[in-house]
Structure formats: structure tokens, C-alpha cells
Amino acid sequence: MEWRKLVHGAARPAPATFRSGDEVRVWYKILEQGKERLGQFEGIVIRCRGSGASQTFTVRRVTYGEGVERVFPMDARMIARIEVLRRGNVKRSRLYFLRDAIGKTRIAAAETQASGARPEPAVPIVDTTADVQPAGEKPEAVVAGEKSPAGNKPQA
């Protein structure tokens, strides 16, 4: 299997062991105009897939209100090191539900998904089609259930 060594290089030491749900910081090399510097990408591992040379993991973070995901090959030479910041306790291997959750509401979103209840809308719905009357005037519209001045029938 000489071709595998040519493509993937020599065997690298095993990186830090982590799973889905762990919060990690990935240090990767950035080449700019002949210089090399280290960048970092910190977030939650939402997926680990593959095996051997084709193993990859996906890290997600929220930056300025936008969710950003990066897929890293496990044996890439561009990865300098992987730090595990916090261990997660999750029941799934694919944490795609975090894409719908925003900020601190992700815990509540996960709980409502587990219970099967529909989450309430975050923004109240306001009817702006109703006519606004000046202060002191009696509205002409009759509230449902009240008797109209013309008769004894309630208006709907």
C-alpha cells in the first residue's frame, strides 16, 4: 500500500479523542503569501463519520448570529492540534437539531423535541389590520358575543 503512504503521508500520532457533543478548538495552518500562521476554529462537534484515512468531523459555531460549520479531515496535515475544551453528554451521534436552535434556546428546543410538544413562536403575532380609533371615541365594531344595537343577534 505504497500509494496510501504517498497520499496520506506517514502515520501521524492519534489526535485527541473526542465524540459528537464535545466542544473542541481546532488549530489549523493557514498559508498566506509564503508565510504560515495558525488559525483556530472553536465549536461543538456535531458529526464524526468515516474510518481510517477518510474519517472526518464537523464542527459548528455561531458567529455574529450566523451558524458556521467546517468539515475537517481527521488526518489532514493542515491540522496542528485539537484541544477538547468540554465533554458533552449526548444521546445521538448526529446533532443536526442544533442547526435550528439559536443561542441559549437550544436547550429548550431540545427538550421540546424530546417531549414531542410544538415550540411556541418566539415573536408574538400581532394583527395590524384592525382599525385604530382615536382616544375617547367608541369603536363601531362590535366584539364577538355582544349584542348589536340593531337586534338581539350576536355578530361574528
What pLDDT band is residue 97 in, cutting at 50, 70 and 90? confident
- Judged against a pLDDT cut of 70, whether residue 106 lies above it is answered with no
What pLDDT band is residue 76 in, cutting at 50, 70 and 90? confident
Stretch among 51-55, 61-65, 147-151 having the lowest mean pLDDT: 147-151
CATH code for the domain defined by 2-115: 2.30.30.790
Residues 70 and 66: their CA atoms lie apart, in Å, by 13
Burial of 62 (0-12, 13-18, 19+ CB in 10 A): middle
Stretch among 2-16, 39-53, 55-69 having the lowest mean pLDDT: 2-16
| 18-44: average pLDDT | 92
Residues 111 and 66: their CA atoms lie apart, in Å, by 22
Residues 116 and 96: their CA atoms lie apart, in Å, by 17
CA quadruple 140, 143, 145, 151: dihedral, nearest 10: 0
Q: Report which secondary-structure segment, H or E, holds 13.
A: none
Residues 4 and 11: their CA atoms lie apart, in Å, by 10
Is the model's pTM score more than 0.85? no
